[in-house]
Amino acid sequence: MDKILEIKNLSFGYDNKLILDNINFEINKGDYIGIVGPNGSGKSTLLKIILGLLKPTKGSIELFGQPVDSFKDWGKIGYVAQKAASFNTSFPATVEEVVAANLYPQLGLFKRIKKHHMERVYEVLELVGMKEYSKRLIGNLSGGQQQRVFIARTLVSSPQIIFLDEPTVGIDIQSQDSFYELLKNLNKNMHITIVMISHDIGVITEKANRVACMGEKKLIVHDMDSNIPITKILSQVYGEKMNLLHHHH
């Protein structure tokens, strides 16, 4: 199997406060991985380390077989941040301008965005069902629509893996359903690897093929095909009281 990400013996702390302790984790091509865990357990931190935004205290991270420090091919990697939808809503940018910005990995420094580059922009906007909103100001869209635009923005550079940090926060149930449908389509038909942080354990256990549970500075990875019930690991991470699995979707 093609390894996209390999984390070995990773430890990390903010100002000496240990957050992640000796984590090992692998992601293969085609995976749909859910990362769950209580608030403050270090999920977003782990993602930022993977993306090279934070430097680990110990351990190694390889993206597509290359150490993250020397990794250059950022177009292959998409990221939708936890706060992506909390941008300055009065910023005067249209949907197509926001999406076109991420053509950068293809274009490089100084090159101007031309008409023919925009075809790719409209293609991905079509894919996420936002093409007719191309000329609208991004601040005037609903939260769910903005989230789709941010997915389109990562898609425009043709990534092979997309990391999403709590992408459905503040989005109504119906839009969430079609959002998950979109992710499934990207994963199944376009073979894009998906890694999603979410508190919606019900959805995660249903959609993902592997679930990584963060807790007590450790990461426990569970294969959804295995015979061991995931509730065991979840109660280990969240404590016995957790009954979040009663989520009807």
Ligand X SMILES: Nc1ncnc2c1ncn2[C@@H]1O[C@H](COP(=O)(O)OP(=O)(O)OP(=O)(O)O)[C@@H](O)[C@H]1O
Shortest distance in whole angstroms from residue 14 CB to ligand X? 3
Nearest one of 13, 12, 30, 11 to 210, comparing CA atoms: 30
Partner touching 88 among another protein, Mg ion, ligand X, none, CB below 5 to 8 Å by kind: another protein
Query: Quick one: which segment of 36-44, 51-59, 146-154, 169-177 binds Mg ion (CB under 5 A)?
Result: 36-44
Nearest residue (CB) to another protein, 107 versus 182? 107
What residues pair up with 178 in beta bridges, in sequence order? none
Exposed, middle or buried: residue 156 (CB in 10 Å: 0-12, 13-18, 19+)? buried
Shortest distance in whole angstroms from residue 89 CB to Mg ion? 21
79 binding another protein? (CB under 8 A): yes
Partner touching 75 among another protein, Mg ion, ligand X, none, CB below 5 to 8 Å by kind: another protein
Nearest one of 173, 92, 105 to 137, comparing CA atoms: 92
Cα angle at 34 between 31 and 40, to 5 degrees?
Answer: 145
Partner touching 18 among Mg ion, another protein, ligand X, none, CB below 5 to 8 Å by kind: none
User: By CB under 6 A, what part of segment 1-30 binds ligand X?
Assistant: 14, 19
Shortest distance in whole angstroms from residue 70 CB to another protein? 13
Q: Which CB contacts under 8 angstroms, 24+ apart, belong to 55-58?
A: 56/10, 56/11, 56/12, 57/11, 57/12, 57/13, 58/9, 58/10, 58/11, 58/12, 58/22
135 binding another protein? (CB under 8 A): yes
Residues in contact with ligand X by the rule CB under 6 A: 14, 19, 37, 39-45, 82
